[in-house]
Amino acid sequence: MTARSGLWALWALAAAVGALLGRPWTRTLLLGGGVGLAIWYWADRILLAQSDFARLGLPVRAALTIALLAAGLWILSRPDVRRFFEENRK
């Protein structure tokens, strides 16, 4: 558990620094990390959620996951955001 948390913390740090500095690889890192986190979260919920109570909120969480991924994709595909990351290519 600690190693996995450490990996997500390193990813978040790299994404934050890259976003602040406008590095071109940041968009890919953010998209990949968002999708990776969603896959990890749902694999954990589907494979390990054994009780009926734990499964009650799955439809709401699925809708929220889809909405957040769509919002992230929409934000990262905006022309101003693309231009910001492309301007800082060095």
Q: What confidence tens digit (pLDDT) does each residue in 53-62 have?
A: 777 888 899 9
What are the residue boundaries of the structural domains of the chain, listed by start? 2-87
Q: 28-51, pLDDT tens digit by residue? A: 999 998 999 899 888 888 888 777
CA distance 42 to 34: 12
Residue 90: which residues within 8 A CB-CB, separation 6 or more?
none
Mean pLDDT of the chain: 87
What's the pTM value of the predicted model, to 2 decimals?
0.78
Q: Read off the amino acid at residue 81.
A: V
Predicted confidence at residue 88, as pLDDT, reads 66
